[in-house]
Structure 1
Amino acid sequence: MIKNSSHGGRRPKVDPSVNRYVVRFNAKENARFLAMFEQSEADNKAAFIKHFLFQKPFKVFYVDENTRIFIDRLSGFNALYRTIGVSYDNLVATLNQNFTEKKASAALEEIKKLMIRLISVSQDIAALAQKFDEEWSQKSR
């Protein structure tokens, strides 16, 4: 009799990884290994060791707290810049629609104040970017 073999489970791999090796670390070596593993952001320790042994490149990402602070502050400046720009556009539209000459001159004064504020914010953005560039160039030396 011919038996149909229909065993359940997944199909066997074409090239299974069956060879295993054991490495033992002391506490200091283990701490260093774990630090390297965390920096590599590898999926698991086995993949990290394989990449390291066979000299495959792996990426190390550093999260610089100063960069995050810079980006947050720059985003805040950009939001303020947009808010001032929208206020400016609304004021000009209102001025064009239905203001008398006296009210228009008052509105122009308001526009002048907003433009001065906009220039100030632009200078703050440029100063922050300049400061960041100087600090970054000092760190990279």
Structure 2
Amino acid sequence: MDKKDHHYRNRGGRKPKINPSIYRHVFRLTNEENIKMMKLFEASAFTNKAKFIVSVLFSREIRTVKIDKGSMDFYMRLTSLYTQFRAVGVNYNQVVKVLYTNYSEQKVTALLNTLEKQTVEMTGLCQKIIKLTEEFELQYLKK
């Protein structure tokens, strides 16, 4: 085996980093300072404390994420309401099928007219829900 071949042979393990972080610094905080730092860290988009601290030290941009529980709850309720309206549409065909198998032609026509009127009202409500959800997203969630 040639000396060059031995040098380039795959020995397994991780690839070495191009610019590894090899310098370590330790610092201590008081209880109040630690609480303040943890609040800043939790509000940031970082998942790694070391990267967060380096970002703060070198004045890089720190993004904060604020989650409004009330807004999220409202949005989730609107979304679930929309889902329920879609589920009604799935059951619509089943209702029509049951009507045709259990009732006379005249009775089915009368019942379907009533069902159609209710469906038109529900469609209007569903459109309002969609519009409210989109307005809410634009106004409160995508800032």
State if a TM-score over 0.5 links the two structures: yes
CA deviation after TM superposition for structure 1 residue 104, in Å: 2.5
1:68 partner letter? M
Cα distance, 1:32 vs. partner?
0.6
- In structure 2, give the amino acid aligned to 1:60: T
**Paired residue for 1:73?**
77
What does residue 56 of structure 1 align with? 60
**1:125 aligned residue:** 129
Residue identity opposite 1:105 in structure 2: T
1:88 aligns with 2:75: no
What is the count of residue pairs matched by the alignment?
132
Per the alignment, residue 29 of structure 2 pairs with 25
Q: CA deviation at 1:69?
A: 1.0
Q: Percent identity?
A: 32
Q: Give the root-mean-square deviation of aligned CA atoms.
A: 4.2
**Residues 56 and 99 (structure 1), Cα distance of their counterparts in 2 relative to 1, 3 Å cut:** same
Q: 1:49 to 1:117 in 2, by over 3 A?
A: same
Amino acid at match of 2:49: K
The CA deviation at 1:76 is: 2.2
Distance 1:45 1:130, change over 3 A: closer
Check 1:109–1:12 CA distance in 2 against 1; reply closer, same or farther (3 A cut).
closer
Question: Cα–Cα, structure 1 residues 99 and 29, in superposed 2: closer, same or farther, change >3 Å?
Answer: same
Q: Using the alignment, how far apart are the partners of 2:131 and 2:22 within structure 1?
A: 59
Q: What is the TM-score when the length of structure 1 is the normalising length?
A: 0.62
Amino acid aligned to 1:48: F
Aligned pair in 2 of structure 1 residues 109, 24: CA closer, same or farther (>3 Å)? Answer: same
Secondary structure at 1:56 match in 2: coil
| Distance in 2, Cα, partners of 1:41 & 1:130 | 25
Deviation at 1:31, TM superposition (A): 0.9
Note the residue ranges of structure 1 that are not aligned, 5 or more in a row: none
The runs of 5 or more residues in structure 2 that have no matched partner are 1-5, 7-12
Say yes or no: does 1:108 pair with 2:108. Answer: no
